[in-house]
Amino acid sequence: LPPGGVLAAFATGKRAGGLICRRWAAEQHLLFRMARERSFWVGLNKPPPLGDPTPWSVEAMGKDAMQYFGWREEGIKREAVLVIRGGWDWQTMFKAVKPGYQLIMRHPNNNNLTAKDLLYRNLREAERRELARGRKPCVPVERVVPETYLTDDPEDCKRLEEAIRSSQGETWVRKVADVHIGQGITPVTALQPGDCSGAGQFRRRSKVIYQRRMEPLQVRGRPTSLRSYVLLASLEPLVLLFNHAAGHVYVAGREVMSSERSWYTQHHSFEAWTFERFASWMAEEHGQPGFVSNATIPQMKDAILSAVKAARQSFTSASEPGSGGPRRSWDTGHQLGALGHFDLWCIDFMYDSRLQMRMLEMTDSCLFKGYGEQEQVRQRLFMMKDSLQVSLAVQSRILQHQPISDLFDYESQPGIPVSAAGSFELLYSEVPGSEYDFHTALGRCDT
C-alpha cells in the first residue's frame, strides 16, 4: 500500500484509473473500518427522511446485538460502518448511505424480490429457460407455490377465468402482491371487479395474484402453517444459509376458527410449536417418524433455493420501489453491485390435508409475535445476534478474498455444512474455494 494506507490506496486507485481496482480498494477500505471503527447506525425511532418513527423489532434486536458485540452506535447514518435497516419507507430507506463503502442490512430491490407476483413470475421464467435448453427443472414451479395466476398476464387471466368457472364455488385466494405479514389477502369465489379487466398491464395501483386455496393440515381441527428463515449472508458473491431451528409451526387459536381467514394462521392468535414438537406429533398422529428431517426440511430448502436462484438477476440491478407500474431498473449510483449487502428473510409454508407443502410467501418483514419471556429471548438471540454474527464473519472473509469453509462443520450432517453455532445450514455459496449448491451437492438435481 502507498503511504497513508487504505485511504491513500483508494485515492491513488481513482487517479491511476485502473492500476488499483476500485472494487478492491472499496473492499479494503470497508474491511479496515470494520476492524477499527466498529460503528453502526440503526433506523430506530429516527424521524423521516432517514429513518422510521416506528420501533420495529428487527431494528431493536439489531441495536442490542451490535452493542453486545462491542460496537458503538453512530448518530450520522452516512458515517457508520454498518447500517441496519434505515426505515421501512422504500423511497427514503437508502438516503444518506454509501453502498459499497458500508455494510447495509437490506438491498434496494428487496421489496420487489419478495413481491408475490414476482416470486411466481421469476420461478415460471426460470423454469421456461430450463425447458428451452432441453433440461428438466430441478424443482417444478407447481411444487414450490400453490396454483397461481397473474392478473397482469392476459393468458393467465384466460386460464384463471376458466379455472374459477370450473371450480364450482370453490374458494380462491386473492392476494395484493407487494404487502406481507398476512395483509392484502382475501378469500373469494369469483373474479373481483377490476381484476383482469383488460385495462392493460400495470394500470392498476397494486398488482394482484390469484391462488387456489389450500386446505391446510389441521391439529385437532385447527389450521397450521410453518415458518423457516433464509439468511442472505452476502448478496455478492451470493451466500445463502437456511435455518429452521428458530422457526415454528403455527397452530391457529380457537378464537379464529370461525374466521374466513383462519386458514392463514401466522398473524392471528396462534400457538407456536417447535419443529421438534411437530415431528413428534407427525410420528404419533400420522405414523410418520422422521417426517420433518426426511421430508419437510429438504422440501423447504428446495423451494427457497429455487426462488432465490430465480430472482438472482435482480440482486445487482435494483428496481424502482413500488408496484403501481412497471418495475424499471434504476442506477444504484456506486457501480459496485451488491457489495456489503446482506439480509434475513422469513419464509412461510403450508401443508395441505394430503401433506403436500407449498410456499405462501417470502418476505423481509420478519415480525414474530413470541409468547413468553423464554421464547422472546430465543427469537431475539436468533434474529439478530446469531444472524449478525454469521453475516459479519462471512462478509469479513469475502472482503479478504478468503473461503468461508472454516465457518462450517462438514461432519455433523454428511454432505450438509452446518455453521459453528449449529443453527444455520449452508444452502448455497458462490465464494471461490467454498462453492456449494444444495440442489446438486447430494445428487438431488442433474443441473
CA dist 56 and 78 (Å) reads: 21
Quick one: pLDDT at residue 392? 94
Residue pair 265/226 in contact by the 8 Å Cβ criterion: no
Q: What is the Cα–Cα distance from 10 to 27, expressed in whole angstroms? A: 10
Q: Which of 65, 67, 64, 40 is nearest to 387 (CA)?
A: 65
Query: What is the rounded distance in angstroms from the CA atom of residue 31 to the CA atom of residue 395?
Result: 9
Is the CB of residue 84 less than 8 Å from the CB of residue 42? yes
Rounded to 10 degrees, the C-alpha dihedral 368/371/372/375 comes to -40
Rg (the chain; Cα; Å)? 22
What is residue 328's predicted lDDT score, i.e. its pLDDT?
A: 43
**Averaged pLDDT, groups of 10, the chain, 447 residues long:** 48 46 88 96 71 63 89 94 74 76 79 80 91 91 95 92 92 84 81 76 67 91 90 92 90 66 60 92 96 96 94 61 41 65 91 95 71 67 84 95 90 71 86 93 69
- DSSP structure string for 237-297: TEEEEEEEEEEEEEEE-GGGTTSTTTT--TTSSEEEE-HHHHHHHHHHHHS-TTHIIIIIH
212 burial class (0-12, 13-18, 19+ CB within 10 angstroms)?
middle
pTM of the model: 0.87
How far is Cα 91 from Cα 112, in angstroms, rounded to an integer? 13
- The CATH fold of domain 216-441: D-amino Acid Aminotransferase; Chain A, domain 1 (3.30.470)
Name the residue with cell 438491498: 107
Phi, psi of 266 (to 5 degrees): -60, -35
* Strand-strand pairing, 82-84 and 39-42: parallel
What is the C-alpha separation between 28 and 25, in angstroms, rounded? 5
Cβ within 8 Å of residue 408, ≥6 positions away: 417, 418, 419, 420, 426
C-alpha span between 359 and 143 (Å, rounded): 9
Compute, in degrees rounded to 10, the torsion defined by CA atoms 350, 352, 354, 355: 10
Q: Quick one: pLDDT at residue 322?
A: 42
Spans of all domains in the chain:
1-34, 37-97, 116-212, 216-441
**Closest by alpha carbon to 151, among 180, 184, 176?**
176
Within its chain, how far is the Cα of 154 from the centroid?
29
Residue 397's pLDDT is 95
